[in-house]
Chain A
């Protein structure tokens, strides 16, 4: 009798578990799958609707079209450049700061910490920030993707906590051997904090890749358009074109605004989906370190 009751209670938990987890997985993965199958399906055929699980008629002409546009090609360059240049520089500036603030006997350590951490909770807001960028000559300048993103106080705290958990004797020994702080930072701290450095590098890289608003707000040259900004332009066309369908009817070709949108979305997302399974363990580690505090 008692075991039967137990079984029933366990069963209800297992049922809830399976249902909820399956639901969570489906709502998180299916949208990407759906966009993928629509993007590789023939555009005119896709307009019949009903594409849910598998493509009906394969065609890569949407990809050929979007990848053949010079504006999109250029935007890939801009996005890759801001990610590849911005990430290592940001990691260097942030981890150097982390090392400095982890040094116990630092002159003015407490006020410096407060000065940095305060900015996590208070700031000038969008308009003053814009004015400052304008006066620094950073508007419509590639450097606006790099310089304002060099320092992240949140990432700094992650690295600082990691460095503080290392044995102090290690650094003392190096100092006794005559190493100065630059040597210690580059030869000792950076290599030893590789796990957390990887984590914040990935945080920065993903945010550089995904960033849209800075390109939208601070640049207007065609030559500085990122992949995300091109995608927004395509999205806006879709909105204004009466849900895409009417315009698509007029385009009796192998591509439609819809199919272009799906293909562009995939091209922007695929790099993230590809690297993501390999890097996710670092993310998990980073988030956990951050939450422990």
Chain B
């Protein structure tokens, strides 16, 4: 877009040969080099390892590429194995976790942002903001620690439930498989609440204040202003966030799962990421772990592209990621 304005200057410079231009930009190339090396080593080199998914890979210590190319080719065997064994259970857990997460962590930040916008006192507003995004900045280790303490048999939640006589004896929250999905979803929502609200707040701050004044003159109530001005104004942001969420539906994360799960509920806590990790690295089934990971990456990639295309088509004002 921006290059159009500088078209004339660019045209002149482009008359030089590519070698001449590279020489002119040699210092830029020096600045680019470290990032490019990192990109190749830590992003593209691992992609070559995806070939493992189609082989019977065992590390022989002959170097990465040698081991990779020397491995026996087995086609789609690992994928067939996955689909015929644990696929449905793992997909159920993955989708349950991420859809419940979406249910809790999608509407709440919008509500928080809209209500924060109603706070007229700047000090109170910034205090609430500061307080609510604190959980985002602590590690999952500490967040898991907090949830396990609070939900333990002598924890505050059980104290509370017993005090209001909802239960006689402490509930073991981490012993019921499907409850784990809710615990993870709530933990995710808790951690991301304030952070996600900032994104909506910044969209709200871009709304023309004259619109609110005009609405006031027409006798609109504050509820009506929220409904007819604020929410429509942040609709593009809401759509973008939804696209991101859809694209990430298989990325449930693994830290929270690995930290809070236990063997008794593994059948319910195991998601694609932890499953690939357990088989691929803990059990040494490298090819199988890679195959499960590749399945996840490909489906995720398709989901993001599709969601992006849909939102581009559905909206007239270019609500899309790229």
Closest B residue to A151 by beta carbon equals B38
Is A124 a contact of B10 with CB atoms below 8 Å?
A: no
Is A123 a contact of B43 with CB atoms below 8 Å?
A: yes
CA distance A119 to B226 in the complex (A): 39
Given contacts A13-B223, A100-B32, A128-B47, whether A288 and B198 have CB atoms under 8 Å apart is yes
Is B41 a contact of A10 with CB atoms below 8 Å?
A: no
CA distance A6 to B224 in the complex (A): 11
Q: Does B297 touch A at the CB level, under 8 Å?
A: yes
Is B46 a contact of A124 with CB atoms below 8 Å?
A: yes
CA distance A280 to B198 in the complex (A): 11
Interface size class of A (residues with CB under 8 A): 35 or more
Q: Does B116 touch A at the CB level, under 8 Å?
A: yes
Please pick, from A125, A151, A181, A269, the residue contacting B42 in the complex, using a CB distance under 8 A: A151
Residues of B within 8 A of A243 (CB): 152-154
Q: Does B139 touch A at the CB level, under 8 Å?
A: yes
Residues of B within 8 A of A125 (CB): 46, 49-50, 276, 289-290, 293-294, 296-297
Q: Does B254 touch A at the CB level, under 8 Å?
A: yes
Closest A residue to B65 by beta carbon equals A135
Q: Does B301 touch A at the CB level, under 8 Å?
A: yes
What is the interface size of chain B, counting residues whose CB is below 8 A from a CB of the partner? 100
Is B134 a contact of A273 with CB atoms below 8 Å?
A: yes
Q: Does B237 touch A at the CB level, under 8 Å?
A: yes
Please pick, from B21, B112, B300, the residue contacting A20 in the complex, using a CB distance under 8 A: B112
Residues of A within 8 A of B255 (CB): 212-213
CA distance A239 to B116 in the complex (A): 39
Q: Does B115 touch A at the CB level, under 8 Å?
A: yes
CA distance A99 to B25 in the complex (A): 12
Is B112 a contact of A24 with CB atoms below 8 Å?
A: yes
Residues of B within 8 A of A182 (CB): 27, 30-31
Closest B residue to A117 by beta carbon equals B322
Is A21 a contact of B115 with CB atoms below 8 Å?
A: yes
Q: Does B221 touch A at the CB level, under 8 Å?
A: yes
Number of A-B residue pairs at CB separation under 8 A: 274
Is A28 a contact of B289 with CB atoms below 8 Å?
A: no
CA distance A150 to B188 in the complex (A): 27
How near does chain A come to B301, taking the closest CB pair, in angstroms?
5
Hey, what's the 0/1 contact readout for B126-143 against A, CB within 8 Å counting as 1? 011111111101111110
Q: Does B229 touch A at the CB level, under 8 Å?
A: no
CA distance A128 to B10 in the complex (A): 42
Looking at chain A's contact residues, the main secondary structure is helix
Given contacts A13-B223, A96-B32, whether A29 and B134 have CB atoms under 8 Å apart is yes
Q: Does B161 touch A at the CB level, under 8 Å?
A: no
CA distance A283 to B247 in the complex (A): 24
Closest A residue to B197 by beta carbon equals A24
Is B28 a contact of A100 with CB atoms below 8 Å?
A: yes
Hey, what's the 0/1 contact readout for B191-213 against A, CB within 8 Å counting as 1? 00111001100110000000000
Hey, what's the 0/1 contact readout for A183-213 against B, CB within 8 Å counting as 1? 0010000000000000000000010011111
Given contacts A29-B131, A97-B31, whether A291 and B237 have CB atoms under 8 Å apart is yes
Is A93 a contact of B153 with CB atoms below 8 Å?
A: no
Residues of B within 8 A of A28 (CB): 131-135, 190, 193-194
Residues of B within 8 A of A96 (CB): 31-32, 34-35
Is A127 a contact of B276 with CB atoms below 8 Å?
A: yes
Is A287 a contact of B195 with CB atoms below 8 Å?
A: yes
Please pick, from A17, A135, A168, A210, the residue contacting B138 in the complex, using a CB distance under 8 A: A210
Is A127 a contact of B49 with CB atoms below 8 Å?
A: yes
Q: Does B146 touch A at the CB level, under 8 Å?
A: yes
**Segment touching B, from A54-62, A65-73, A80-88, A103-111:** A103-111
Residues of B within 8 A of A40 (CB): none
6 further interface pairs, Cβ-Cβ under 8 Å (given A13-B118, A243-B153): A14-B118, A35-B146, A125-B276, A150-B34, A182-B27, A235-B144
* A-B complex: 6 closest residue pairs judged by Cβ atoms: A128-B49, A125-B293, A124-B46, A210-B139, A97-B35, A181-B27
19 contacts between A and B (CB under 8 A): A16-B115, A17-B119, A31-B146, A97-B34, A99-B28, A122-B47, A124-B46, A126-B280, A128-B47, A135-B63, A181-B25, A210-B137, A232-B141, A232-B259, A243-B154, A265-B142, A276-B137, A277-B130, A284-B129
Give chain B's interface residues, CB within 8 Å of chain A. 2-3, 6, 10, 13-14, 18, 21-22, 25, 27-28, 30-32, 34-35, 38-39, 41-50, 52, 59, 63-64, 111-112, 115-116, 118-119, 127-135, 137-142, 144-146, 148-150, 152-154, 156, 159, 190, 193-195, 198-199, 202-203, 221-223, 226, 237, 247, 254-255, 258-259, 262, 273, 276-277, 280-281, 286, 289-290, 293-294, 296-297, 300-301, 304, 322
